[in-house]
Amino acid sequence: MGTHFLYNSMKHRLRWIIGSGFAIVLVMTTIAPVYAYKYEKQKWPTNSAGFYLDIAGWDPALIQGPASTWNNAGSPFRFKLKGHNVYKPNDGYSTIGRYTLTDTDAIAVTKGQPGSTVTEIDTIFNMKYGWGCCAESDLYDVRNVMTHEFGHWLVLGDLYNIFTDINKTMYGLIGKGETKKRSLHQDDINGINYIY
Amino acid sequence: MEKEKVYILGGVGVLILGGVLFFAGKLYVMQRNGQEIQAYMQENVAPAPVPEGYLVTEMQASLPAEATTKNIANTANLIVRGKVTTIGEAYSDQLGFVYHNVIIQPEKFYKNTTQVQQNADITVKVFGGTKDKEIFRALDAPRFAQNEQVFVFLGKGEKDYYVTYEIFGKLTIKDNKVEGINQEQGRVSEKLSDYEKKVVEIIGQK
């Protein structure tokens, strides 16, 4: 009789323990606010951005693919390929180029002038690293990185929360062979739709 | 028999609770680290007022994944503790990137694959600076201050050194504590001796 009571009591406690455990997980993981996306507070004057390529030897589709990914994110904003341009800083042409940056570990960099409106943004792929098209495990994937960089063109900022952001296109750290940034996370989609 | 059930059920309960707490702890740490990194980055790039007539260029760098102490230490050619003696004027390269040089007087080397002489100053090329009415702001670049005591992980560039993993590769030493960020801890605030020991162990493992 006593043992039976103990058994039932233990079962009750087990339920309580599991319930409490899940409650702890919930509290611990939602205890502080997190960014869904990070918007840098400026935008293109119209709902489009033309881009030029300086990527001799690379298939333009590697850049056009990521442009289409953002173009199909449900906002009226459109990236448009304008043609070829030899990259020059601050020349008025937003250009995607490939150059060797020996004095940084950055895989790619995007730079532009903030202000109330964006007029020019350029992206440079760092040729210090090996680049691939097809998820090669020892190379950085061009489409993966370009989808992220186009996020910067839209003035979305880098996110660094490994817990909440790692599957988002705008997560700021990029692995070799990684392709998950090619597809937009719902928060990335919400980001572009909020801005434009 | 009933008694055995009680023990088994009790044991299972303890194991489940332990597992759940362990899992919750891991998630909490990951979440907290991410938020601390994000906050540190925001502080690092807090924009100063822009004088009239100046152009601001902002740059965001995509960095290699896993900015952990282990990866940063293994990537670096030079790991050194020292004092910032000079922060140079900004200059630009042909691609339009603006840099400035930081001179570090080394006090202790932990890794020195490029055979830098113990007393030689180290020139570190860092993104960012103001040149010809252009303020070039690199959001992920480390910031240095005159006379700052630093613990830095450096890579060999074309001529000088650069900070590996940008902002993740530079830590400040204050009150015998090392302060900065990394991916496994989020915000680092650790006794210098403990941090040194950790770095030496990582290098030794390779």
Residue A3: its chain B contacts at CB < 8 A?
Answer: 2-3, 6
Instruction: Please provide the size of chain B in residues.
Output: 206
Q: A139 pLDDT exceeds 70? A: yes
Find chain B residues with C-beta within 8 A of A25's C-beta: 20, 23-24, 27
pLDDT at residue B48, rounded to an integer? 74
Predicted confidence (pLDDT) per residue in A43-56, tens digit:
888 899 999 999 99
Instruction: Spell out which residues of chain B touch residue A177, defining contact as CB-CB under 8 Å.
Output: none
User: pLDDT below 70 — which residues of chain B?
Assistant: 1, 46-47, 206
**Does the pLDDT at position A86 exceed 60?**
yes
Least Cα distance to A169 among A96, A30, A69, A42 occurs for A69
pLDDT value of position B14? 82
d(CA B35, CA B58): 22
Cβ distance of B55 and A163 shorter than 8 Å: no
Alpha helices (runs of H) in chain B, residue ranges in sequence order: 2-44, 69-75, 192-205
Place of tokens 């180290």: B122
Query: Which residue(s) pair with A81 in the sheet?
Result: A51
> How many residue pairs bridge chain A and chain B with CB atoms within 8 Å of each other?
181
Give the best residue of B59, B60, B166 to mutate against chain A (max A CB count within 10 A): B60
- Residue A3 contacts residue B8 (beta carbons within 8 Å): no
- Asked if pLDDT for residue A1 goes beyond 70, the answer is no
Please report the beta strands in A8-145, taking only residues with DSSP state E, as ranges in sequence order: 48-54, 78-84, 95-99, 108-112, 121-126, 131-132, 140-141
Asked if residue B34 belongs to a domain, the reply is: no
Residue B92 lies in a domain: yes
Q: Tell me, yes or no, whether B132 lies in a domain.
A: yes
CATH code of the domain in which B189 resides: 2.40.50.120
- Report in angstroms the alpha-carbon separations of A29 from A24, A25, A171, B25, B27: 8, 6, 19, 9, 6
pLDDT of residue B36: 86
Residue numbers of the domain that contains B130: 55-205
Please indicate, yes or no, if residue B101 is contained in any of the structural domains. Answer: yes
**DSSP structural state of residue A114:** -
Number of domains within chain B: 1
* Res. A29 pLDDT band, cuts 50 70 90: low
Q: Can you give the pLDDT at residue B2?
A: 73
Quick check: A103 and B37 CB within 8 A?
no
pLDDT of residue A113: 79
CA distances, A186 to each of A36, A39, A179, B120 (Å): 9, 15, 16, 51
Integer Rg of chain B from CA: 22
Phi, psi of A129 (to 5 degrees): -105, 160
Q: B149-175: buried (b, 16+ CB within 10 Å) or exposed (e) per residue?
A: bbbbbbbbbeebbbbbbbbbbbbbbee
Tokens of B199: 């770095």
Chain A residue closest to B123 (CA)?
A103
pLDDT of residue A18: 66
* B84 belongs to a structural domain: yes
pLDDT for res A192: 95
CB atoms within 10 A of CB A152: 24
Kindly state whether B11 is in contact with chain A, defined as any CB-CB distance less than 8 angstroms.
no
Nearest CA in chain B to A161: B34
> Which of A81-85, A113-117, B4-8, B79-83 has the lowest average pLDDT?
A113-117
Residue B42: inside a domain: no
Q: What is the mean pLDDT of residues A24-29?
A: 58
Pair type for strands B170-174 and A78-84: unpaired
| Model pLDDT for residues B4-38, shown as the tens digit of each residue | 877 887 888 788 888 878 777 777 777 778 888 88
Chain A residues inside the 8 Å CB shell of B23: 25
In a domain? residue B131: yes
For the whole model, what pTM was predicted? 0.85
Q: Decide if B17 is inside a domain.
A: no
Count CB atoms within 10 A of the CB of residue A23. Answer: 12
Q: ipTM strictly over 0.90?
A: no
Check pLDDT > 90 for residue A24: no
Would you call A173 and B67 a contact, using CB atoms and an 8 Å cutoff?
yes
Cα separation of B88 and B99, whole Å? Answer: 9
Report the pLDDT value the prediction gives residue A100, as an integer from 0 to 100: 96
- pLDDT at position B12 is 82
Distance (Å, whole) CA A16 – CA B144: 52
